[in-house]
Amino acid sequence: MSEEEKAILAANEAFYQAFANNDYATMETLWSSGTDIAVIHPGWSPLHGYRAVMDSWHRLLSAPGVTPVLCSESRVYIMGQAAFVICTESFDETELVATNIFIRENDGWKLVHHQSGPRSQNSHAALAESVH
Amino acid sequence: MSEEEKAILAANEAFYQAFANNDYATMETLWSSGTDIAVIHPGWSPLHGYRAVMDSWHRLLSAPGVTPVLCSESRVYIMGQAAFVICTESFDETELVATNIFIRENDGWKLVHHQSGPRSQNSHAALAESVH
């Protein structure tokens, strides 16, 4: 694995650590503040722009304690100064799949977008077959 | 809107045209063949690599006739030689949200990844609140 891939996977891992620890202060440092950003939480409409994205994280991470999220099966795709990671998110018994997009900034790889959605739920297996 | 944004939106629109027309031959030309690619269809596990991705499109587009897919509310995010588009996909009465990632190649912007998942379905609104 290249140093670049390791750095991107570390940024992805830091994202899930901040998520799991309900650590909004760290979460804020992991996203790009110099580029336009977006997020699609599962079942939500897309949120566009730094304020909307960070407000959503503030809301989601404002509960005390921890969030039972684990990230696994991460795969990195590099596109020059941008990259994305595809991974599985496990929340107790719920499995989701996510795409996390990063750009390389002076102080490291920063998130610019996150989309997460359900995997292999019966209703959506049927949905996938019928519409997609 | 910049010429670059117009070109990326045109590539995104061509993707949904090929999808709607069950036009696998065109679909194949819209994806990068020089870079590693991936896809997450709604409810499916991620597919990695050119062969797996194109096989999935071949399967999904092999039905005769058309697929009732419409793309709307597209927003472009440019990251140098890479870009992504967030948009709404409507299939009859089902709404999904998608992230489509592109890279700039010699012959234009090519898809490298597509993730689509449900929007605002009751079960997933609850899921988002509870786990994400």
Q: Which residues of B touch A80 (CB under 8 A)?
A: 80-82, 103
Tokens describing residue B35 = 């870079």
Q: Express each pLDDT in B43-63 by its tens digit.
A: 899 999 999 999 999 999 998
Positions in chain A short of pLDDT 50: 122-126
Q: What is the DSSP letter of A22?
A: T
C-beta of residue B131 within 8 angstroms of C-beta of residue A46: no
Contacts of A113 (CB under 8 A, 6+ apart): A37, A38, A39, A40, A99, A100, A101, B77, B84, B86, B99
Q: What is the DSSP letter of A63?
A: S
CA-to-CA distance for A84 and B67, rounded, in angstroms? 29
Of A41, A81, A120, Cβ closest to residue B45: A120
B42 touches chain A (CB under 8 A): yes
Q: Which residues of A touch B99 (CB under 8 A)?
A: 40, 99, 101, 113, 115
CA-to-CA distance for B51 and A127, rounded, in angstroms? 23
CB contact under 8 A, B117 and A116: yes
Instruction: Give the pLDDT of residue A124.
Output: 44
Q: Express each pLDDT in B86-119 by its tens digit.
A: 999 999 889 999 999 999 999 999 999 999 999 8
Instruction: Give the pLDDT of residue B119.
Output: 87
Instruction: Give the pLDDT of residue A125.
Output: 47
CB contact under 8 A, B43 and A101: no
CA-to-CA distance for B120 and A98, rounded, in angstroms? 17
pTM: 0.92
C-beta of residue A40 within 8 angstroms of C-beta of residue B99: yes
CA-to-CA distance for A71 and B124, rounded, in angstroms? 19
CB contact under 8 A, A118 and B124: yes
Q: Give residues 68 to 87 of A whose Cβ lies within 8 Å of B.
A: 69, 73, 75, 77, 79-82, 84, 86
